[in-house]
Amino acid sequence: MKATCFMGRNKVEVQEVPDPKILNASDVIVKITSTAICGSDLHLVDGYIPAVMHGDVLGHEFMGEVVEVGSNVKTLKSGDRVVVPFDIACGVCNACRNEMYSVCENSNPNAWMAASMWGHAGAGAFGYSHLTGGYAGGQAEYARVPFADVGPMKVPDGMTDEQVLFLSDILPTGYMGADLCDIKPGDVIAVWGCGPVGQFAIASAYLLGAERVIAIDRFEYRLRMAREKAGAETIDYEEQDVLDTLKEMTGGRGPDACIDAVGMEAHGHGPMWIYDRAMQAARVETDRGTALREAIMACRNGGTVSIIGVYGGFMDKFPIGSIMNRSLTIKTGQTHVQRYMRPLLERIQNGEIDPTFVITHTLPLEQAPHGYDIFKNKLDECEKVILKPGAVSATTGSYAHA
Amino acid sequence: MPDASARQLARALGWFSVGIGLAALAAPTKVAQWVGLPGGGSQALLRAIGLREIASGVGILTKDDPSSWLWARVGGDALDLALLTRAMGDEQADRGRVAAATAAVIGLTAVDAYATRQMSQDPGGSVQDSHRSAPQEPRVASAITVSAPVGEVFAAWEGFASLPRFMDSFATVRVTDDRLSHWQMSLPGGLTVAWDAVITDIEPNERIAWRTGDNSTVSGSGEVRFRPAPGDRGTEIIFSATFDPPGGELGSKVAGLFTDPLGVKLNNDLRRFKQLTELGEIVKSDDTVVPGPNPAQPVAG
Ligand SMILES: NC(=O)c1ccc[n+]([C@@H]2O[C@H](COP(=O)([O-])OP(=O)(O)OC[C@H]3O[C@@H](n4cnc5c(N)ncnc54)[C@H](O)[C@@H]3O)[C@@H](O)[C@H]2O)c1
Ligand SMILES: [Zn+2]
Ligand SMILES: [Zn+2]
């Protein structure tokens, strides 16, 4: 089959690889009809997550048709159309029973590696380095999906791939980002980052009752999407001082909750930004902190900082004093996708949210390298790229612009 | 060609990084004294260096192409050198020690650069399955919580009869009868240690104790404890073993190696027991079927 492979730092290629096989009795094989490129993939490709190996198959946001079923699978059969959560969870361990699927105790066979970095290990994930288990990813024609009765969700008839694909990751992620803020009537929420995750965090904050949402980024087309499609007020951090502007916008209090939808490759200005780049290059720290530090400093006394942007290791100059002295609460996590998938499917069906608004590019799988390029470098007003395996012949060399 | 020795060197540097890193984090004052830096102000820096060391160590150990993280070590060394040079000019610094530390760092920089060059020539070399040859503490232990009642977990353990189904990372086990089993452990450098484990005591639902028998290259004893986890979370299993190094080179080598890496391996096996008990099978990923890069590797050509 064809698959998108990591071939070295900043090098992604679509290669011919062996088809996946059933390895455990609870596995299914899915023939992928749609898959997407995520900001998390950029952290891998840019070389900030250790334990990615040359040839590893990338991708953790995918859906498709079940074509092969393990002997112990009870709820799925060949021909079922499913969307698959990026985190792999067994469904029976203590973590899973508490709906903390992204820290499943059984799904990461390389738990020792993760534990040596983080003290304890999290769950396995598709296409996300050997730290999270060494599972091949889903930017491919087929994928093996373990724990088929726990993760994959059947797609109701009549819904398009585009409507449900993002239930695999970014819609639940944005939603969890807002859910962790424990939003009360009248709350003002600020969101750092207007990538696809940030857009869904904004929309979800409104769904959960926020009075106002303020979004921060520097790309005008992303800020425009946040205003026009998600309904946020926006700050361009290249034009305005974020802390001052937020104080002014909130009567000096600061936002009631701040969501970091940027992560470890945050961009910025000034001495702290140069410092972070240098420290990260020398591996004194693995995570750049410009966005997170600002989110912490901006938050109102007693407020919540919700971190859904991904961090991998260590950050320098972490403003712990601001957190402690002002009674802030920090909440974070890889998304417990299985917890949010079904309720969010209902919200899509009820017309409360239409996640297709973030899609700007639909490309054949073969053009994944181009997709990575425009998504990473913010070319052609790219917000979110969907890849379609098997769609090559008619569209080679071009891509649809939604 | 990064032959086995280049890879071994990279591995050693990886563990060295982790070790130094942990030391700088846990005891910055000691490390500062050791390298001759004045106390106080240098602690934060040493902590930062510690974090960098851990990150690059883990990077070296877990990446199939450790060279980029090895370069990070070289970069790090340069930083350390700059620091130490500054410290030389510092009034309070103990010049002798700083000079010695500087010499050591220069030496390390050379070794790092050498290893990096060797590894860079073929980035394919894997440095997984690494072991640290570390301080002497010949006790190895690991613990896990299995979400099933003690009676069930104790029964699933079956004395030692179940061990061959999940023990293969720490040691391979062959069970001869309900009291006797034969254990074999491979250590780095092609060393093999083997021992017979004789069960000396069984307290149902609580404890299985054993000691090594006559046909053993090491002598020691161990126990597996079972106890209910608080909050209805199932059963805690604590596996521990203590080995008496019989003296001589082999003995001390063995003792030196019975530390964290073996604990990690033991933990791998306990995780597999947990999977068997909770799920009925051992979870596989592409990585466990063919260690290293995904088997879904690009087909050659
Ligand atoms: N928690 C989870 O389970 C989970 C799941 C999916 C994605 N993520 C993470 O969410 C983050 C965002 O993902 P995405 O797909 O939207 O990525 P993206 O790269 O498209 O979006 C990041 C955005 O942040 C902006 N940005 C950079 N520095 C900033 C700063 N200092 N202030 C404000 N904005 C800044 C960028 O311009 C960009 O628009 C990533 O870190 C990704 O790994 C987490
Ligand atoms: Zn994602
Ligand atoms: Zn689980």
Which DSSP string do the residues of B64-92 spell out, in sequence order? SSTHHHHHHHHHHHHHHHHHHHHHHH-TT
Give the largest Cα separation in chain B, rounded.
70
Please give the distance, rounded to the nearest whole angstrom, from the Cα atom of residue A122 to the centre of ligand 3: 10
Give the nearest partner residue to B286 out of A13, A135, A316, using CB atoms. Answer: A135
The verdict on a CB contact (< 8 Å) between B55 and A93 is no
Interface test with B, best of A144, A276, A277, A283 (most B CBs within 10 A): A283
Distance in Å, alpha carbon of B65 to nearest chain A alpha carbon:
7
Q: What's the pLDDT at B301?
A: 35
Q: Cα separation of A391 and A398, whole Å?
A: 11
- For CA atoms A32, A204, A179, A119, give the dihedral sign: positive
Please give the pLDDT value at position B136.
Answer: 46
A161 interfacial to chain B (CB closer than 8 Å): no
Coil, strand, or helix at residue B236? strand
Neighbouring residues of B155: CB distance < 8 A, sequence distance ≥ 6: none
**CB–CB of A8/A14 below 8 Å?**
no
| Sequence-separated (6 or more) residues with CB below 8 Å from residue B148 | B156, B234, B235, B277, B278
- Cα distances (Å, whole numbers) of residue A329 to A324, A325, B6, B251: 9, 11, 47, 51
Residue A170 CA: which ligand 1 atom is closest? 6
Contact by Cβ (8 Å): B174, B188:
no
CA–CA distance, A99 with A179 (Å, rounded to integer): 14
Question: Taking Cα atoms as reference points, which of B20, B70, B85 lies closest to residue B46?
Answer: B20
A349, two tokens: 């069906």
Chain B contact present for A112, CB below 8 A: yes
- As given in the structure block, the two tokens for residue A131 are 């730290």
β partners of residue A307? A260, A332
pLDDT band, residue B187 (cuts 50/70/90): confident
Q: Read out DSSP for A366-379?
A: GGHHHHHHHHHTT-
Report the C-alpha gap between B124 and A54 in whole angstroms.
8
Report CA(B45)–ligand 2 centroid distance (Å).
35
Contact B287 A112 (CB under 8 A): no
Chain B contact for A90, CB < 8 A?
yes
Ligand 1: residues within 6 Å at CB? A 38-40, 42-43, 169-170, 173, 192-198, 216-219, 222, 237, 261-263, 266-268, 290-291, 308-310, 334-335
A109–chain B nearest CA distance, Å: 7
Buried b (16+ CB within 10 A) or exposed e, B18-36: bbbbebbbeebeebbeebb
Distance CA B195, CA B171 (A): 10
Cα separation values, A41 from A9, A177, A232, A306, Å? 12, 19, 26, 21
In the block, which residue shows the tokens 């030389």? B88
Ordered by start, the domain boundaries in chain B are 4-123, 139-283
The amino acid present at A267, given as its one-letter code, is H
- Least CB-CB distance to A282: which of B64, B76, B283? B76
- State ipTM: 0.90
Which one, of A169, A199, A193, A131, lies nearest residue A38 by Cα? A169
The CATH number that domain A2-169+340-400 falls under is 3.90.180.10
- Taking the C-alpha atoms of residue A176 and residue A337, their distance in angstroms, rounded to an integer, is 9
For atom 11 of ligand 1, which residue has the closest CA? A309
| Closest CA–CA distance from residue A211 to any residue of chain B (Å) | 39
Q: What is the distance in angstroms between the CA of the first residue and the CA of the last residue of chain B?
A: 21
pLDDT in tens, chain A (402 residues): 999 999 999 999 999 999 999 999 999 999 999 999 999 999 999 988 878 888 999 999 999 999 999 999 999 999 999 999 999 999 999 999 999 999 999 999 999 888 888 999 999 999 999 899 999 999 999 999 999 999 999 999 999 999 999 999 999 999 999 999 999 999 999 999 999 999 999 999 999 999 999 999 999 999 999 999 999 999 999 999 999 999 999 999 999 999 999 999 999 888 878 888 877 777 667 788 999 999 999 999 999 999 999 999 888 889 999 999 999 999 999 999 999 999 999 999 999 999 999 999 999 999 999 999 999 999 999 999 999 998 754 444 333 333
Residue pair A89/A102 in contact (Cβ under 8 Å)? The answer is yes
What's the token pair of residue A32? 């992928």
Which residues of chain B are within 8 Å of residue A18 when distances are taken between CB atoms?
A: 295-297, 299
Percent of chain B with pLDDT over 90: 34
Please name every residue paired with A259 in a beta bridge, in sequence order, or none if there are none: A191, A306
Asked if A307 contacts A292 with a C-beta cutoff of 8 angstroms, the reply is: yes
Q: Which amino acid is at B76?
A: G
Mutate to test the pocket of ligand 1, among A166, A236, A262, A277 (most ligand atoms within 8 A of CB): A262
Token pair of B219, please? 């002598």
B-chain CB neighbours of A20 within 8 Å are 286, 296
Q: For the stretch B65-104, what's the b/e string if a residue is b when 16 or more beta carbons lie within 10 angstroms of its beta carbon? A: bbbbbbbbbbbbbebbbebbeebeeeeebbeebbeebbee
Contact yes or no for A388/A33 (Cβ under 8 A): yes
Residue B264: partners with Cβ closer than 8 Å, 6 or more residues away: A112, A115, A116
pLDDT at B272 over 60: yes
Interface membership of A289 toward B (CB under 8 Å): no
Q: Supply the pLDDT for residue B130.
A: 36
- Amino acid present at B215: N
Q: Indicate the residue of B72, B286, B293 with minimum beta-carbon distance to A54.
A: B293
User: Which of B261, B257, B260 has the alpha carbon at shortest distance from B249?
Assistant: B257
Per-residue model confidence (pLDDT) at position B137 = 42
pLDDT band at B290 (very low <50, low <70, confident <90, very high): confident
Contact A284 B51 (CB under 8 A): yes
**A155 contacts A64 by C-beta, under 8 angstroms:** no
* Whether the Cβ atoms of residue A264 and residue A286 lie closer than 8 Å to each other: yes
pLDDT in tens, B134-180: 434 478 899 999 999 999 999 999 999 999 999 988 899 999 999 99
State the distance from the centre of ligand 2 to the C-alpha of A121, rounded, in angstroms: 19
Q: What are phi and psi of A286, to 5 degrees?
A: -105, -15
Cα(B23)–Cα(B225) distance, integer angstroms: 31
Task: Please report how many Cα atoms fall inside a 13 Å half-sphere around the Cα of residue B254, on the Cβ side.
Answer: 23
Cα separation, B195 vs A334, in Å, equals: 43
Positive or negative: CA dihedral A180, A185, A189, A195: positive
Q: Is A368 on the interface with B (CB under 8 A)?
A: no
Tokens encoding A205? 């904050």
Residues in A 204-233 with any Cβ partner in B closer than 8 A: none
Mean pLDDT over all residues of chain B? 71
Q: pTM for this one? A: 0.81
CATH architecture for the domain at A170-332: 3-Layer(aba) Sandwich (3.40)
Distance CA B43, CA B37 (A): 9
Q: Residue B139 has what pLDDT?
A: 83
- Distance, in angstroms, between A251 CA and closest chain B CA? 37
- A 300-359 residues with CB below 8 A of B? 313-314, 316
CATH superfamily of B139-283: START domain (3.30.530.20)
Report the alpha-carbon distance of residue B37 to residue A383 in Å, rounded.
Answer: 50
Is the pLDDT at B239 greater than 60? The verdict is yes
Best substitution site from A35, A37, A38 to test ligand 1's pocket, by max atoms within 8 Å of Cβ? A38
Task: Quickly count: other Cβ atoms within 10 Å of residue A153's Cβ.
Answer: 19
Query: Tokens 């071009």 correspond to what residue?
Result: A398
The full set of domain ranges for chain A reads 2-169+340-400, 170-332
More confident residue, B130 or B62: B62
